[in-house]
C-alpha cells in the first residue's frame, strides 16, 4: 500500500494509528507484540506521538517487545545512537521495562561480536532452530536520500547476504561499520512500514517505486515481504516526483 499525506504530521498520525492496530491484533492473537524500531527524524516524531496522551493508553505496553532494525556502532549514550533516540522519546516517557527492550550491545568495540550476539538473542527470543528466521509483527523503516533502508546501503556487501538475519555492514562512504537486519529478516516480517518524508528523498523514491529494478543502487527496492503487508507512508514533499 502506498499512501501520500499532505505533511509529516499527518503521516505520523496515520502511522501511530496503524502501529496501535497491528500491536493490539498481535497481542490479542499471540499475547505479545514484537516490533523493530528505526532511527531518524520521522520515527522520532512517531515515537513522541505514541508516548503522548492520544495514544499511550491504547496499547498494553507490558506486552510489547522492542528490537532495532539497525544501529550505529556508537555508545548507547551517543547522540547518534538509535537506542538513545528511542529511549528518550518512547521508552522513558512510557516507563517501558528494560526486560522488554533489546538493544544492540554497542558498548563492545567488536562489531562482528555485536552482530553475532544479536543474532543469538533473536534466535533465543523467538525460539528458532538453526536456519529459521524470526517473524516480527512489525518492522519500521526509514529511507535515505540515496535509497538505503535500515543500514543496507547502496553497493555494500550486506545486500547479497542470504544466510544471516543480522550482520555488520561496512559503509565506505561513511567510513564506518553499521549493524543491520538483512533482507532475510526484514522480508519475513508480518508488517513493514516505511516512513518517508522530506523533499531530499523525492528522486530516490521515484526510482524505487516507479523506476527499473536496481536494488544494488536503491536497496529499499528489495524490501518485498514473503507473506506480510508492506506500507509506504509518504509526505507530499517526498512524493513530489511520483506519477
The mean per-residue pLDDT over the stretch 45-58 comes to 98
> Residue 101 has which C-alpha cell?
527492550
> Residue 63 has which C-alpha cell?
506486552
**Per-residue model confidence as pLDDT tens digits over 125-174:** 999 998 999 999 999 999 999 999 999 999 999 999 999 999 999 999 99
Residues 6+ apart with CB under 8 A from 42: 8, 11, 12, 142, 195, 196, 197
Q: From CA 132, how far away is CA 128, in angstroms rounded?
A: 6
Cα end-to-end distance, the chain, whole Å: 15
pTM across the whole model? 0.98
**Per-residue model confidence as pLDDT tens digits over 79-104:** 999 999 999 999 999 999 999 999 99
**Per-residue model confidence as pLDDT tens digits over 208-224:** 999 999 999 999 999 99
Per-residue confidence (pLDDT) for residue 202, from 0 to 100: 98
Helices (H) and strands (E) in the chain, counts: 7, 9
Per-residue confidence (pLDDT) for residue 78, from 0 to 100: 94
Compute how many other C-beta atoms are within 10 angstroms of the C-beta atom of residue 2: 12
Fold for 2-212, please state it.
Answer: Rossmann fold (3.40.50)
Amino acid at each position: 500500500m502506498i499512501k501520500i499525506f499532505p505533511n509529516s504530521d499527518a503521516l505520523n498520525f496515520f502511522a501511530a494509528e496503524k502501529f496501535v492496530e497491528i500491536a493490539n491484533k498481535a497481542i490479542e492473537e499471540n499475547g505479545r507484540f514484537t516490533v523493530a524500531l528505526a532511527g531518524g527524524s520521522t520515527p522520532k516524531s512517531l515515537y513522541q506521538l505514541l508516548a503522548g496522551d492520544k495514544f499511550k493508553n491504547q496499547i498494553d505496553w507490558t506486552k510489547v517487545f522492542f528490537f532495532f532494525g539497525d544501529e550505529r556502532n556508537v555508545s548507547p549514550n551517543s547522540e547518534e545512537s538509535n537506542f538513545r533516540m528511542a529511549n528518550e522519546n518512547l521508552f522513558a516517557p512510557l516507563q517501558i521495562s528494560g526486560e522488554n527492550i533489546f538493544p544492540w550491545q554497542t558498548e563492545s568495540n567488536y562489531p562482528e561480536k555485536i552482530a553475532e550476539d544479536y543474532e543469538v538473542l533473536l534466535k533465543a527470543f523467538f525460539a528458532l532452530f538453526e536456519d529459521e528466521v524470526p517473524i516480527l509483527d512489525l518492522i519500521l523503516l526509514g529511507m535515505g536520500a540515496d535509497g538505503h533502508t535500515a543500514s543496507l546501503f547502496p553497493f555494500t556487501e550486506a545486500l547479497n547476504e542470504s544466510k544471516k538475519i543480522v550482520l555488520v555492514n561496512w559503509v565506505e562512504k561513511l567510513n564506518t561499520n553499521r549493524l543491520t537486519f538483512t533482507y532475510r529478516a526484514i522480508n519475513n516480517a508480518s508488517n513493514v512500514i516505511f516512513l518517508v518524508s522530506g523533499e531530499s528523498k523525492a528522486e530516490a523514491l521515484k526510482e524505487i517505486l516507479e523506476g527499473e529494478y536496481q536494488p544494488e543502487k536503491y536497496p529499499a527496492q528489495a524490501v518485498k515481504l514473503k507473506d506480510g503487508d508492506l506500507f509506504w507512508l509518504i509526505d507530499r514533499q517526498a512524493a513530489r516526483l511520483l506519477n
